[in-house]
Amino acid sequence: MTRVYNFSAGPAALPEPVLRQAAEEMLDWHGAGMSVMEMSHRGPEFMSIHAQAQADLRELLGVPSNYRTLFMQGGAIAENAIVPMNLMRGRAGADYIDTGAWSQRSIAEARKFGRINVAASGADGGYTSIPPRAHWRLDPQAAYVHICSNETIGGVQYHWTPEVGEVPLVADVSSDILSRPLDVSRFGLLYGGAQKNIGPAGLTIVIVREDLLDGAHPLTPDAFNYRLQAEADSMLNTPPTYAIYVAGLVFQWLKAQGGLTAMAERNRSKAALLYDCLDATAFYRAPVARECRSWMNVPFKLHDERLDAAFLQGAEAAGLKQLKGHRMVGGMRASIYNAMPIEGVRALVAYMKDFERRHG
Ligand SMILES: *Cc1c(COP(=O)(O)O)cnc(C)c1O
C-alpha cells in the first residue's frame, strides 16, 4: 500500500491514524458486534459517539455555553439558504462581504430571501485581497453580516475578526474551521461542510448563538430549522452517523496533537514554507496579497502556463496529487489542511525547486 500526498481542496486528506482506527473498528465497534454505519442513531452506542464528538468540538473551539453546536446536512451550499431562512428575523436585508467565488455563491442564494447589500467587495483587486474594514458600508439595521473566512478557490483568508457592532457576524468557515483558535463569542453563527478540514462529506457543522434560534421564517423546512434541530440535539432527522463518527475521531486526533494552538503553529509553518518557495523566484507566482494569504489553500501560477501540464504530470508521478487549480482561476492550488503533514509540503517544495531547475 502507498499513500500519496493529497493536496485536494475537498473532499480532502484525513489523518492516517484516523483512517486506521476507522478501519480497525469497521466490523465491530467497541464490542458492539456491528459497524457504526449499522447502528441506530438513537441507540446508546451511537448516542455516546455523538455526545463525545459534540463535547470534543466544543472543547477544541472553546464554544461558550450560550452557543449550540448542530450537526446538520446539505453542506455550506445548503447553509447559504438556511442561514437567511433562519436569521432574517423579519428584517429587510443582510450585509455580505464579497471576497471571491464562495462569497458570491452565498450572496446569489441569499438574494432569494431578502435584500442583500454587498457592503464591500474585493472585485476591483481581482479578489487578491480583503477590503479593509474601514471601507465596508454596513447597514446598522441588517439582520446579519456575512463573511467567508477562507476563500477556498481564491486562497484569500481573514487573519482578523471584523468588528460589526451589535449586528450578528456570520461566517462560512468550511475550509479553515479547526485550523487555528477562533473566538466564537465574536460571531453570531459559524457554518461549514466537514469535507475540507474535518471529516467525510455529508456532515455540516453549525455553531449558533442561542438568541438567534427563534427567528426562522414559517416556510423553513423542519430539518433546516435551527431551533428545532437544537431542541432535537441534531436528531430531528437521521443524522449522517458515519460522518459524525469519523469527525469525532478527527476531534480526538486534534486534541492529541495539542489542540488548535498547536495546529495553528503547524499550519502557519507549512504555509510559510510554500509561500517562501513561491516568493523566492519569478518562475512561480502567488497572486494573493501577503496579509491575506490563506494558510489552507495556496493558489499559484507558473510564469509560463505552457508548462502547467508538465508540472502536473511530474507532480503526479512524484506522488503529489490534485494540484490542479480550480477551473475558475487556473494554475495550481495546494490545499494543505490540518491532515497534510509538513513532510508533504517539503516534498512539494522540493519538487517545485527541481522542476524550476529543469525548466527555468
Ligand atoms: C467547499 C466550500 C463550499 C461548498 O460546500 P458544500 O459542502 O459543497 O456545500 C462553500 N464554501 C466554502 C468556503 C467552501 O470551501
pLDDT tens string 115-151: 999 999 999 999 999 999 999 999 999 999 999 999 9
The mean pLDDT value for 94-108 works out to 98
- Gap from CA of 202 to ligand 1 centroid (Å): 11
| pLDDT at position 278 | 98
pLDDT at position 155 over 90? yes
User: What mean pLDDT is predicted for residues 53-70?
Assistant: 98
- CA-nearest residue for atom 7, ligand 1, is 75
Dihedrals φ, ψ of 299, to 5°? -80, 145
- According to DSSP, residue 209 is labeled E
Question: Is there an atom of ligand 1 within 6 Å of 158 CB?
Answer: no
- Asked whether 10 lines ligand 1 (CB < 6 A), one says yes
Verify whether ligand 1 is closer than 6 Å to residue 337 (CB atom): no
* Digit-coded pLDDT (tens) for 278-323: 999 999 999 999 999 999 999 999 999 999 999 999 999 999 999 9
How much is the average pLDDT of 326-351? 96
98 has which bridge partners? Answer: 121
| pLDDT digits 0-9 by tens, 31-42 | 999 999 999 999
Q: Which of 197, 150, 165 is nearest to 15 (CA)?
A: 197
Mutational test site, ligand 1, from 175, 179, 190, 297, max ligand atoms within 8 Å of CB: 175
Compute the average pLDDT of residues 217-239: 97
The Cα–Cα gap between 154 and 104 comes to 12
Q: Using DSSP, how many helices (H) and how many strands (E) does the chain show? A: 9, 14
According to the model, what pLDDT value does residue 147 have? 99
At 328, the pLDDT band (50, 70, 90 cuts) reads: confident
Section 8-21 average pLDDT: 98
What integer best gives the mean pLDDT of the chain?
A: 97
Q: Cα 8 to chain center, whole Å? A: 13
Helices (H), 302-341: 308-317
Q: Distance (Å, rounded) from C-alpha 119 to C-alpha 330?
A: 28
Q: 195 C-alpha vs ligand 1 centroid, how far in Å?
A: 9
Name the H helices within the chain: 16-24, 44-61, 75-87, 101-110, 226-231, 241-257, 259-279, 308-317, 342-359
Q: How far apart are the first and last CA of the chain?
A: 35
pLDDT band at 181 (very low <50, low <70, confident <90, very high): very high
Q: Model-level pTM greater than 0.85? A: yes
Q: Is the beta carbon of 329 within 6 A of some atom in ligand 1?
A: no
**DSSP for 80-107, written as a single string:** HHHHHHHH-TT-SEEEEEE-SHHHHHHH
Q: Hey, which residues are catalytic here?
A: 102, 172, 196
Poorest-confidence range of 41-45, 89-93, 107-111, 292-296? 89-93
Mean pLDDT of 329-341: 96
Q: How far is 103 from 96, CA to CA, in rounded Å?
A: 8
Q: How far is the CA of 360 from the centre of ligand 1 (A)?
A: 36
**329 alpha-carbon distance from chain centroid:** 19
* Å from CA of 76 to ligand 1 middle: 5
Is 79 close to ligand 1, i.e. is its CB under 6 Å away? no
Measured in whole angstroms, how far is the alpha carbon of residue 162 from the centre of its chain?
Answer: 18
The CA distance from 332 to 77, in Å, is: 24
**Mean per-residue pLDDT, 73-96:** 97
Please, which pLDDT band fits residue 360 given cuts at 50, 70 and 90?
A: confident
CA of 106 to the centre of ligand 1 (A): 10
- All three cell numbers of 211, joined, read 438568541
Q: What is the pLDDT of residue 297?
A: 98
244/257 Cα distance (integer angstroms):
20
Q: Which of 8, 71, 77 to mutate to test the pocket of ligand 1 (most atoms within 8 A of CB)?
A: 77
| Ligand 1 neighbour 172 (Cβ under 6 A) | yes
Mean pLDDT over 3-25 rounds to: 98
- The pLDDT of 42-48, averaged and rounded, is 97
* Band (1; pLDDT cuts 50, 70, 90): confident
CB neighbour list of residue 291: distance below 8 Å, 6 or more residues apart: 129, 159
Tell me if 192 sits within 8 A of 204, measured CB to CB. yes
Identify the band that residue 74 occupies on the pLDDT scale cut at 50, 70 and 90: very high
Mean pLDDT of 202-224: 97
pLDDT at 86: 98
Q: Whose CA is nearest to atom 13 of ligand 1?
A: 174
Amino acid at 197: N
Residue nearest to atom 5 of ligand 1 (CA): 76
Domains of the chain, start order: 16-256 (3.40.640.10), 258-359 (3.90.1150.10)
pLDDT level of residue 329 (50, 70, 90 thresholds): confident
Q: Which of 153, 156, 174, 195 to probe ligand 1 with, by most ligand atoms within 8 A of CB?
A: 174
Ligand 1 and 77: CB distance under 6 A? yes
Give the torsion sign (CA, 111, 117, 119, 123). Answer: positive
For residues 104 and 122, the answer to whether their CB atoms sit within 8 Å is no
